[in-house]
Amino acid sequence: MGNVCCCFSEPVDFEGEVNLYHFDLHRAVGKGAFGKVRVVEHKRTKKLYALKYIDKSRCIKQKAVANIIQERRLLEEIDHPFIVNLRYAFQDDENCFFVLDLMLGGDLRFHLERKGQIQEDVVRFWMAELSSALEYLHQQRIIHRDIKPDNILLDAMGHAHLTDFNVAVHYSERRLHHSVAGSMAYMAPEVVSRKGYSWSVDWWSLGVTAYELLFHKRPFDGRTAELMRNSILSDPIKFPESASSKCSDTGISFVKSLLDRNVSSRLGCRSNGRGMEDIRRHPWFSSIEWDALENKDSQPAFVPDDGIKMKQANFDVSHELDEFLMVEKPLTHTKRKANADLDKLRPELRQLEEQFTVYDFSRSKRLSYYPHNQPIAVGTDSEGSDPTVGHSTTNTLIPTATIAERSLAGTPVLDSIARGHSISMSRPMPQPPPPIHVSGS
């Protein structure tokens, strides 16, 4: 047996497969549809991480098993300075666990609501970092599909990181996606119109995010899904009267260039352009030293409060109260049942056992599941059905709620042909640089 330590009267075998006993559990810092996020500390390395844990029973009830497996596989492919990267994955009898890079600086929604407006130089720095992350994802043939302030986290130094790959999918170079996925206020016109889309939708969403951070409002609005859709498809891009006092002409130009309804002329996507190089050369980024930025050698323009010391928490501290008040069952270290018979498990649990595999970044090489990763649905009934849009009790649209429906694009081309799907595009789609093979961490 390898190095062991004693905790909960159980020896911990650090040479064996990673499990929850390898970590000390600290405070809860977030809550999602199926579980929570809490800070954990690896007992041997003493490094802090974020533990995202997903209740299997809730996951099965909401028909999201395939989605959780898809997210797990996509995260294994990704390793980038401006993405919240997966470090470990494992499960016990009740939960599936993602151990991710810890971001103590809070999400951009939190900071936007607290500050009311973000300074232009701060937004510019974040947009440069996120552009680098998007370039990387698109090289991996991945569309995030849900870029918004809520899904951008800051580390303790103030660097921006893209998170939440819940509706991310691989894209196919031969077929477009037609499913509605993401958060409606940030969806590109080609998504809400169902005319077919690819990786270029992420650049539009980044443009909406930049607009919101700069002006504390979104460029498109609507109290119902239909009004929101019409706004995205046809409303002129207007800027507040005070825009010039909050943002330079080059900053407004950058946002306008991303919010171009014509995909072939959208910044970063131009059919006769240079992709990410057009982003880097935009006048708004003239002060950015890209090599230093991508090595995290550049000093962020905004440093969040000291989340480590918790003087002023950069997240909602109420998440811990559910366990404290016994509203929910607290997370505990539990041993797995020995020698479970997979044939006797219900199909969804068996699928999780077989496909939510163990991952340990210190031992495993990052592998690509493309093209075997099948895009999947989140809580939808059938192909072609309308998405379920989240509404509040006042029946107004929740523009930041993530929605998704079944998508068939991005499946292997031979599979598509075998099923008789036609392969067509309304216009030639510009291609990002060829995919980069991800080396081990």
Give buried/exposed letters for 71-83 (b at 16+ CB in 10 A, else e). Answer: bbbbbbbbbbbbb
What is the predicted pLDDT for the residue at 427?
A: 33
Contact by Cβ (8 Å): 140, 438: yes
Q: Is 2 among the domain residues?
A: no
Co-location of 160 and 272 in the same domain:
yes
Q: Is 255 among the domain residues?
A: yes
What is the predicted pLDDT for the residue at 116?
A: 86
Give buried/exposed letters for 22-34 (b at 16+ CB in 10 A, else e). Answer: bbebeebbbbeeb
Co-location of 243 and 333 in the same domain:
no
CATH of the domain at 92: 3.30.200.20
What is the predicted pLDDT for the residue at 338?
A: 62
Please identify every residue annotated as catalytic. 146
Q: Which long-range contacts (CB under 8 A, 24 or more apart) does 309-312 make?
A: none
Contact by Cβ (8 Å): 206, 186: no
Cα separation, 307 vs 157, whole angstroms: 10
Q: Is 122 among the domain residues?
A: yes
What is the predicted pLDDT for the residue at 269?
A: 93
Co-location of 47 and 160 in the same domain:
no
For residue 26, the enclosing domain spans 12-104+312-360
Co-location of 294 and 165 in the same domain:
yes
Contact by Cβ (8 Å): 268, 206: no
Q: Is 349 among the domain residues?
A: yes
Q: Is 373 among the domain residues?
A: no
Cα separation, 73 vs 68, whole angstroms: 9
What is the predicted pLDDT for the residue at 172?
A: 82
Q: Is 225 among the domain residues?
A: yes
Q: Could you please report the per-residue DSSP string of 277-332?
A: HHHHTSGGGTT--HHHHHTT-SPPS-----TTTTSS-SS-GGGGHHHHTTSSPPP-
Q: Is 5 among the domain residues?
A: no
Q: Confirm or deny that 335 is annotated as ligand binding.
A: no
Spell out the alpha helix ranges (H) of 140-248. 189-192, 201-215, 225-234, 243-246
Co-location of 77 and 136 in the same domain:
no
Determine which helix (DSSP H) or strand (DSSP E) holds 71, and give its type and residue range: helix 65-77
What is the predicted pLDDT for the residue at 11?
A: 81
CATH of the domain at 222: 1.10.510.10
Co-location of 402 and 260 in the same domain:
yes
Co-location of 213 and 138 in the same domain:
yes
pLDDT tens, position by position, for the chain (441 residues)? 455 554 445 688 888 899 999 999 998 887 766 678 899 999 999 999 999 999 998 889 888 898 899 999 999 999 999 999 999 999 999 999 999 999 989 899 999 999 888 999 999 999 999 999 999 999 999 999 999 999 999 999 999 999 999 899 999 878 899 989 899 999 999 999 998 999 999 999 999 999 999 999 999 998 899 999 999 999 999 999 999 999 999 999 999 999 999 999 999 998 887 899 999 999 999 999 999 999 999 999 999 975 444 434 455 545 444 554 444 567 777 777 766 666 677 889 888 989 999 999 988 777 777 665 544 333 333 333 334 333 333 435 677 777 776 554 433 222 222 223 322 223 334 445 444 333 333
Radius of gyration of the chain (CA): 22
What is the predicted pLDDT for the residue at 6?
A: 46
Cis before residue 371, ω within 30 degrees of 0? Answer: yes
Contact by Cβ (8 Å): 141, 77: no
Count of CA atoms in the C-beta half-sphere (13 A) of 398: 12
Co-location of 212 and 351 in the same domain:
no
Q: What is the pTM for the complete model shown?
A: 0.81
How many domains, the chain?
2
Co-location of 236 and 264 in the same domain:
yes
Co-location of 172 and 132 in the same domain:
yes
Region of 179 please: left (phi>0), alpha (psi -120 to 50) or beta.
beta
The neighbouring-strand residues paired with 52 are: 37, 98
Q: Is 172 among the domain residues?
A: yes
What is the predicted pLDDT for the residue at 28?
A: 85
Co-location of 97 and 122 in the same domain:
no
What is the predicted pLDDT for the residue at 401?
A: 79
Alpha-carbon distances, residue 80 vs 76, 146, 214, 409, 432 (angstroms): 11, 18, 26, 25, 17
Co-location of 77 and 130 in the same domain:
no
Determine which helix (DSSP H) or strand (DSSP E) holds 124, and give its type and residue range: helix 120-139
